[in-house]
Amino acid sequence: MGPPAWPSPVSSTAHTDSDFMTERNGSFFHLHLVSDSTGETLITVARAATAQYDSVSAIEHVYPLVRTQKQLERVLVEIEESPGIVLYTLLEGPLTVRLEAKCQEFGVPCMSILGPVLRLLQSYLGAESNPRVGAQHELNAEYFRRIDALNFTMLHDDGQNTDEFEDADVVLLGISRTSKTPTSIYLANRGVKTGNYPLVPGVPLPSHLERLQKPLVVGLFASPERIVQIRQNRLLGLRADRTDDSYIDRHAVAEEIAFSRKLFVRNNWPIIDVTRRSIEETAAAVLALLAERRRHPEQTS
C-alpha cells in the first residue's frame, strides 16, 4: 500500500515573521498532527486542549501512518507552507529526530504527545519501553471483544430482539431523541454490549424487560425544551410536516418525560439527565455506573 493520499505538496515559499504572527495572533492557527498510526490518540488530545480556547480556532492538518522518511518529507513541506504548532506520536527515532530538527529550522513549536508519558512510566517502572507502532490496535482479545459488542449493539438497537437483552451488559431506556442509539454505539466501541429500547406513552414496556437481571438498565431523559428542539431539527432535516403533531408539542413531551421517569423510579433504575451532556459524557456516566455495579455485585437486585 502506498503512502496516504494527503493533498499534494506545493513549492515552498518563504514566510515572513509578520505573516506567522498574523496567523498565530488572529482567529486561527495551523495545527499539524503527525502520527505513525491512525492518529486517533493524537486527535483526541489535541482537540481536548484546543477546546479550552474560545477566541481562536485550529486548522487541523492530520497525517496518519507516517512510517517512512519519504512520507515524512511530504509532511515537512506542508508544515513549512503553513507554519503552526506540530504535535506528534512517532516512535521511530530517525523520524522523530528529522521532524524536530526541521521544526526547529522552521521556527515552529514541536512536541511529542507520548514522550512525557513514556518517560514517566520508564522512571516509575525502571524499565525501557519496547516501541511498537499501533500497539493499541492489535488484533487481540480486547479488539475482538469490541467487535462482538458492536455486532450485538447493532442487532439490539431501537427495541430489536428484546428477548436477547438479558445477554447485554447495559440496556438504555428513554423516549425518542434521548441519544440512546449514539450512546449505545459509543459504549459498544468500548467493549460494552448495549441494547436500547424506545419508550412511548400508552405502549406498555414488555414485561420481561422489567425482570432483567444481568444487564445494567439505565434510564435517559432530557428537559422538554431540549427534546422539542432536537425533534424540530430532525423534522427539518427530514423535511417532514408535523407542526401540529404531539411529537413536538411541549406539554405532550413533558408528559412523555414524566411517564419515563415514573417507570425508572418504579424499577429503581439509575437515571441520567442528558440535557446538557455530550454522547461521550453520557457514556462516561454509564460506564461509571457499570463499574460501580461490578465492584458491588451483591447489591444487584
Residue 181 assigned to a binding site: yes
Residue 299 identity? Q
* Inter-residue contact 261 to 219 (CB < 8 Å): yes
User: What pairs with residue 35 in β-bridges?
Assistant: 89
Please provide residue 281's backbone torsions phi and psi, each rounded to the nearest 5 degrees.
-70, -40
Q: SS3 string of 41-107?
A: HHHHHHHHHHCCCCCCEEEEEEECCCCCHHHHHHHHHHHHHCCCEEEEECCCHHHHHHHHHHHHHHC
119 is in an annotated binding site: no
Instruction: Please check whether residue 159 is in contact with residue 198, taking contact to mean a CB–CB distance below 8 angstroms.
Output: yes
Cell numbers that stand for 191 in this block: 467493549
Residue 35 marked as a ligand binder: no
Say how far apart CA 63 and CA 120 lie, in whole Å.
Answer: 26
Is residue 246 a known part of a binding site? no
Q: How far is it, in rounded angstroms, from Cα 98 to Cα 75? A: 11
Is 177 annotated in some ligand binding site? yes
* 6, three cell numbers: 494527503
| Annotated binding residue 134 | no
- Specify binding-site residues for ADP: 174-181
- Specify binding-site residues: 174-181
